[in-house]
Homo-oligomer: A and B are copies of this chain.
Amino acid sequence: MRGLLRLGPIGELDVSQWIGEPPAPTMADLQGRVVAIEAFQMLCPGCVSHGLPQAIRLHKTFGSDLVVIGLHTVFEHHHVTGPKALQAFMYEYRIPFPVAIDRPQERGIPATMERLSLQGTPTLLLVDKTGQLRLNAFGQVEDLPLGAAVAHLLDEQV
């Protein structure tokens, strides 16, 4: 994962609500930081078995060097995966980072998911210190190349 392409500026996440601590960051606030965003749905088996445990490992491994954020991109089962359901899910699965709820839209695909053309869940996004999207990976990413990718972004001089 060396030489990660620049995929364009991430822009602001268009979200309806944040759950968890610390309080909602804007991407502008996070300039100068490397950010990992785990896009998931609480009833998506691959998110529960792979994506979220990996995001928790990222959070533990990189500590304050890396900002880890969840993004609840609901495009199925909207009626049973609202904020209260998400809150119960986060409690049970001990999610240690804040989660943004992607803004619902009439057609079913939420706003940020649509704007960034996410292919499904889980999707892992990496954002560099200048706010550029550098990884947009749908499905399973292995830990070894992921650890390397985050480290390369941390090492980049702005």
**With A48-B48, A143-B143 as contacts: A85 and B80 at CB distance below 8 Å:** yes
Q: Does A27 contact B (CB under 8 A)?
A: no
Q: State the CA gap A61–B143 with chains docked (Å).
A: 10
Q: Does A8 contact B (CB under 8 A)?
A: no
Q: Which of A99-158 contact B (CB under 8 A)?
A: 142-152, 154-155
Q: Which of B48, B77, B89, B147 contacts A146 (CB 8 A)?
A: B147
Closest to A143 in B: B143
Closest to A145 in B: B61
What string of 1s and 0s marks CB contacts (under 8 Å) between A30-64 and chain B?
Answer: 00000000000001110011000000011001100
Closest Cβ–Cβ distance, residue A70 to chain B (whole Å): 16
Using Cβ atoms and an 8 Å threshold, which residues of chain B touch A81? 88
Closest Cβ–Cβ distance, residue A83 to chain B (whole Å): 10
Closest Cβ–Cβ distance, residue A134 to chain B (whole Å): 13
Are B151 and A148 in contact, CB atoms less than 8 angstroms apart? yes
Q: Which of B92, B144, B146 contacts A57 (CB 8 A)?
A: B144
Extra inter-chain contacts (5) besides given A49-B49, A148-B151, CB under 8 Å: A43-B92, A45-B92, A61-B148, A81-B88, A151-B155
24 A-B residue pairs with Cβ-Cβ distance under 8 Å, sorted by A, are A2-B151, A43-B92, A57-B144, A58-B144, A61-B145, A61-B148, A62-B148, A76-B88, A77-B88, A77-B92, A79-B84, A80-B80, A80-B82, A85-B85, A143-B143, A144-B147, A145-B147, A146-B147, A147-B149, A148-B150, A149-B151, A150-B151, A152-B154, A155-B155
